[in-house]
A and B are shown apart, each in its own frame.
Chain A
Amino acid sequence: NAGVTQTPKFQVLKTGQSMTLQCAQDMNHEYMSWYRQDPGMGLRLIHYSVGAGITDQGEVPNGYNVSRSTTEDFPLRLLSAAPSQTSVYFCASSHHLSGTETPLAKNIQYFGAGTRLSVL
């Protein structure tokens, strides 16, 4: 049972380079999201998607691009890497709730193991 899989685990980029962080889940979750973790800042939401073809911005979207062409995959693109994007990136997924379900029932976000990115 893979859950949420992120690749690569580590990456070093030079300023100005572009790259894509991959995220895949095998739980048929509708909701997927990207966070970055920085010291003293906790986890901050970058972008999220409520289903294939639907994405929206989170708290810190600048410099990142996303698309959701399938339910399973939610890649995060860095268009022109900057040192400020040095961070640990986490992808997460969860089910939607139907109208009669309560959050306590099952709307828990499951996280991948993270990608540690350094931009020099």
Chain B
Amino acid sequence: DQQVKQNSPSLSVQEGRISILNCDYTNSMFDYFLWYKKYPAEGPTFLISISSIKDKNEDGRFTVFLNKSAKHLSLHIVPSQPGDSAVYFCAASAYQWRAGGTSYGKLTFGQGTILTVHP
């Protein structure tokens, strides 16, 4: 059962316009959400994240929105640039606490969305 879903395999956008990538999740225990970006032949790189106690987090051209009641998050890129063309993965984590007071988060990833930004 896919706990994190990205239902759009691909998205094509004109340079300068807004890109909106969507992600849905089913596990209400998830408390931290991340977006990763992946170029061909490279590993995923962290882009932006949001805690479940917030509904918005902004970093430059990138904004992530979280709607907990709908179990939905989205990534907005404004304005989109050709260099943004990549695969975008959303990921979710439920933090595990260990004896000794440390924690770690296993990530559950969506299937990815291929974003193409045309000049």
Contact = CB atoms under 8 A, between A and B. Distances in A.
Interface of A: 4, 6, 30-31, 33, 35, 40-45, 48, 50, 58-59, 90, 92, 94, 96-99, 102-104, 107-114
Contact of B43 (A4, A45, A58, A107): A4
**Interface on chain B toward A: helix, strand, loop, or mixed SS?**
strand
A44 B111 CA distance: 9
A6 to B, nearest CB: 8
Interface residues of B, number: 33
Interface of B: 4, 6, 9, 31-32, 34, 36, 41-46, 49-51, 89, 91, 93, 95, 98, 101-112
Closest 8 A/B residue pairs (Cβ): A111-B43, A99-B101, A96-B102, A43-B109, A42-B109, A42-B111, A103-B32, A31-B104
A103 B93 CA distance: 10
A41 B42 CA distance: 17
